[in-house]
Amino acid sequence: MSYFVTGTDTGVGKTLVSCALLHAFAGQGKRVVGFKPVAAGCDDDGHNEDAKHLREAGTVRASYGQINPYCLPQPIAPHLSARHVGARIDFSRIFASYDELAGQSDEVIVEGVGGFCVPLNEKQDSVDLVKQLAIPVILVVGMRLGCLNHALLTMRAIADAQIECAGWVANVLHADMPALQENIDALRERILVPLLGVIPFQAQPDAREAAIHLNMSLFVRPESDA
């Protein structure tokens, strides 16, 4: 099985939740691997920090290039970052890496870039990528001022695209967010898929600790007829 982890915006904790999922599934004895198809912002070695975290959290040994086929230099919108270096994000390259990883693992956790609708090239965006991967989405909601609007708009976009949403995760970004529980309750009343977990504020994000707060029983799927 695979899941695509998207967020209400950039910087809401997609990598934390993706790595937490990898640790949680690994704890069930599954072979797991993270996949970051597109990353914007890389170090002098041409590697992205989020992609490195995903690679470290997995149990399947894969090359960096398999896990992150597109690592673009500037931390800006990916289609612009690609354009600035004369590149273009080609979905066929992404699918080839995904198929390699899926063939070696029980669970592939695919982490998106930016928000759900971010452009990836001149004609395609992350919505197109998820639809062609044909895997369920998990929405990470960064709990901060404005999160209700961002979460509900993103859920509407997911529904409009007729993409399956497995659930959402509330990631608390500020230790003193006003009306935190009321905001979570407001989203639970309006989002018709399961709340998979509430990750408390962490001054130093720790994916293993975050994994404890995920309700893994909600990921159980019925066995297919064989």
Catalytic residues: 36
Nearest CA to 112 out of 96, 90, 128, 100 is that of 128
Alpha helix (H) ranges present in the chain?
Answer: 14-27, 49-57, 64-67, 78-84, 91-102, 126-133, 147-160, 180-190, 207-211
Query: CA 157: distance to chain centroid?
Result: 16
CA distance 33 to 108: 5
